[in-house]
Structure 1
């Protein structure tokens, strides 16, 4: 588990309808850990709620982090607290940063964002621009008023195509992507229908062209092992029985071992845990095939065990 540090909210800014950004810094002014485009942090609110947000500020600013938070009326209370209660001067816990959505070196990028999915792409665009790569952005939202950071993006001119749905309809992915060709990396973040549409649109492209970050996990099949299994916590010396229908995360917490978590869907990576023995049944949306095959880590919020015994570094 990453150490959680206390950071102060030094600015809170309305970026669009339903979107505010928070600028965070150490109260003593010391530098913050470095990060790379695509990274996120875990925001631990004073209520105890933990939520994951992409870093969307200047990665070369060693003293502040910026995140943006969409108000979600049907959420679990984190975004409402940020919008309604959190204020400059307040202190929050921050875990990370960690990066499950890294920017792979390339001479050419196509970026596609839907709504708040623009946040991880902002530092990617800055990096691509800094390195002189060829890049373009297609950015969609419900309306222009709901689309955050349009002013910042306007500095890039016609490399940025903003498409408010109430003015222009849905994104023309096929027209933006063009014909399949090698040497291009496509990065997309946004709601599930957009991700499904771009997966279809990129089906004929070379392998490893498309890189996605998901807010919501896709449907999963039945677990590899339908019955109970045992989890041994190597550092704690505790053995836990995990019953069907109970997550490893909840079973571990029930015996007093704390594991930082956020999404509980296998999409954010906050609860990543080292596997010392046994074969995990990976049910996350993060690990690549070769990482799953290695079997040396898992996300206990969703993943389970293929064997009757699993040993974790907890």
Structure 2
């Protein structure tokens, strides 16, 4: 469901990064959220973009997000930077959480650039619970790294700021070379950083590493290259998905209303319950045990392993 919220504040928090505060126009309470959650911003010009909530989760009246200007993006971040002002109304979907903070005695948080945003409420939660944690935070330059100064001021030696122009690439071998069974690693940032962290964590226990991606993981060919049927259970309609269209396009063509954002399998906005059948999971959101359950799928990129799927639409 999409609700209309008002931009109550907009501020520059780093070079190329603005933070927006969102409130209900009539001062109402907003839905609760947990660390790792994101919302979908439905912009007045029609695009949908997802952004991690990075404010105070205990404030029931305000959402806060931070938006990096993407010079080579699809235009959504430029619109946020150039057109949105306090007092403007925007649609908001969610919050949703595909990057939850699981219980652990110790955490190692690794951020690259704007990837710091989902980690901010995680750090706050770890502090509240009295957990041991450290943050390794890299970026192009110190001036481009949002919230770096306030993190260092609040948490001292727990925070390790390492701009690339001063220190080079993050020294992941030193941080991740020795597996720690009692530690969970959370990483968000650009694809090269995630690939390097995954390689460095190869000898760590299963599920010790959790990541959130901005770009999709490269996938191989689909399981099948022939048409299959999708039955929309609540609508009572059957649609045929041919190799040249996505499941999302097919169900939308049948009249199903599905909110989407990235349409690349990275945000999970179009995650939909599956009642029957086995999806061919091709997203970058679900983890192994979620895929094995076969009870949901990301419609924009995933397909079917068999002749028929039943979706709760």
Cα deviations by residue, 1:14-49 (Å, 9 ceiling, x for unpaired) = 011111010000011111111110011111111121
Report the counterpart of residue 32 of structure 1 in structure 2.
30
Matched, 1:23 2:21: yes
Report the counterpart of residue 287 of structure 1 in structure 2.
286
Q: CA deviation at 1:80?
A: 0.7
Matched, 1:207 2:239: no
Q: TM-score, normalised by structure 2?
A: 0.97
Partner Cα separation in structure 1 for residue 284 and residue 109 of structure 2: 20
Report the counterpart of residue 156 of structure 1 in structure 2.
155
Partner Cα separation in structure 2 for residue 233 and residue 178 of structure 1: 48
Map 1:214-293; keep pairs closer than 5 Å. 214-293=213-292
Cα deviations by residue, 1:66-118 (Å, 9 ceiling, x for unpaired) = 00111001111110110000110001111111111111111111110000000
Report the counterpart of residue 47 of structure 1 in structure 2.
45
CA contact (8 A) 1:107 1:134 kept: yes
Matched, 1:112 2:110: yes
Partner Cα separation in structure 1 for residue 60 and residue 35 of structure 2: 14
Q: CA deviation at 1:246?
A: 1.1
Q: In the comparison of the two structures, how many residue pairs are matched?
A: 312
- Structure 2 counterpart SS, 1:105: coil
Partner Cα separation in structure 2 for residue 25 and residue 250 of structure 1: 33
Q: CA deviation at 1:294?
A: 1.9
Q: CA deviation at 1:258?
A: 2.1
Partner Cα separation in structure 1 for residue 122 and residue 231 of structure 2: 40
- Structure 1 counterpart SS, 2:117: helix
Structure 1 stretches (4+) deviating beyond 6 angstroms? none
CA contact (8 A) 1:110 1:177 kept: no
Q: CA deviation at 1:131?
A: 1.0
Structure 2 unaligned blocks of 5 or more: none
Partner Cα separation in structure 1 for residue 124 and residue 269 of structure 2: 25
Report the counterpart of residue 71 of structure 2 in structure 1.
73
CA contact (8 A) 2:177 2:200 kept: no
Structure 1 unaligned blocks of 5 or more: none
Q: TM-score, normalised by structure 1?
A: 0.97
Q: CA deviation at 1:257?
A: 2.2
